[in-house]
Structure 1
């Protein structure tokens, strides 16, 4: 069987976990087997649909945004054809909760012809923060990912008739998670966008890493599309020129860093 990865990973955390799982499965199947990678983080990569065959294994990873699969990815994800390929669903969240993201990803893959035999929810450094789940996935997370891959390999080689894996989550899915203001009322930060300070040296790195293609190449302080708060421009900026100043956003960021500081561990389903 051929092993593949498919992932959206604006800051590299999802890619790291998905790649480790796929590489370990591949190594168990046949030493030297090359894992094929489908990185659909950038806009151009989401223009062409992808299809697989029943002789393939696909480790699919997406970040969790507001407790769900990012809605900006739904159209693309629903264009992928599984054709009875085996799939492992993986979600990465920033230590708050993954809510219904994993069950939603599992269902999307199943409806598109994959046999979803395993699922995992892993933790990565939060896109809003440099201290919440800092530097995760770390060595402990990666060791768990390797062990998960070994368990998947054992399942693949021991079973002939695969049933859809049961994962944590509710169906119908819960609404997208929304932060609250000081009065306890939900606030909408979807239209909040990053600003650019005078430290910007116009290197245009932010243009190349924006997964929505929303940063104007001629004026990097200007957005020409939506911002999903993925952290790519802020965390990759060499001069730390990108930042947010919205009051509701900053309050939510602070609350996340305080309320969800305790380490959460990956959850695996086989």
Structure 2
């Protein structure tokens, strides 16, 4: 049986939730098996690709771009495609602010790695830093739309060859630089080491998990999300700044979009 490979970079789970909704619909429509792959794992177990497979490549949006760490990690995909143009769907997930150039960048990166991007999507999930923004999303309304988009995209792939989708965004991509901060732990930290073992960038020393290496940290917030003691957080002034900046995003509801 051919496979719909759901390649997702989802440190806090929102991207994976969206990708599973879309990927399962694609797989069901095309009569394929849906198989996920966690690109945020410290060491990725890349799948092998066969003729007839399709790929759903899903990424979060950081400052209107895809994470630089993910862009570098996708270089590992290039030799695995063996020069074949594997049909693909590019999907970006953002925290209800904007996705700007991220979808175009993801599609460009996928194309450079040997994928044939035939469709693009954007969707909203709970903001990874300010969780009151888009809280609870993707919700039931999102899920219905995303499943429908997955079916439409699958039918589009089945009708190949088709022209490349017209995706929003501009080249050169917008300039963005991550804040030079990192989550730290409170006295509630039990030094269990879970954060260190799951950090995509390996920015946390297992022997001293109370702090993170700012040079390596990509602010993906996985360590904050998975801490069983709820001991990790960004500094309070940073959270206050983010809450003020993202305040307008609380008052609107961005909808998923499909680009064919």
TM-score by length of 2: 0.90
Whether 2:51 is the aligned partner of 1:61: answer no
Partner of 1:208: 197
Match of 1:71 among 61, 68, 71: 68
Per the TM alignment, residue 136 of structure 1 is displaced from its structure 2 partner at its CA by 1.3
**Aligned residue pairs: how many?**
253
**Structure 2 unaligned regions, length at least 5:** none
Q: Is the 8 A contact 1:50 1:79 kept in 2?
A: no
Partner of 2:168: 168
Match of 2:219 among 229, 240, 243: 229
Per the TM alignment, residue 80 of structure 1 is displaced from its structure 2 partner at its CA by 1.5
Partner of 1:182: none
TM superposition outliers: structure 1 runs of 4+ over 2 Å: 48-54, 201-205, 222-225, 249-252
| 1:104-253 superposed matches below 5 A | 104-157=105-158, 159-176=159-176, 190-224=179-213, 226-245=216-235, 247=237, 249-253=238-242
TM-score by length of 1: 0.87
Residue by residue, what CA displacement relative to the aligned partner does 1:108-159 show, whole Å, maximum 9, x if unpaired?
Answer: 11122211111111111111112111121111111111000110122123x2
Q: Alpha carbons of 1:51 and 1:68: their partners in 2 closer, same or farther (altered >3 Å)?
A: farther
**Structure 1 unaligned regions, length at least 5:** 179-188
RMSD, matched Cα: 1.9
Distance 1:52 1:99 in 2: 31
Partner of 1:256: 245
Whether 2:23 is the aligned partner of 1:22: answer yes
Per the TM alignment, residue 257 of structure 1 is displaced from its structure 2 partner at its CA by 3.5
Distance 1:136 1:117 in 2: 26
Distance 1:122 1:198 in 2: 37
**Deviation larger for 161-170 or 61-70:** 161-170
Distance 2:165 2:131 in 1: 34
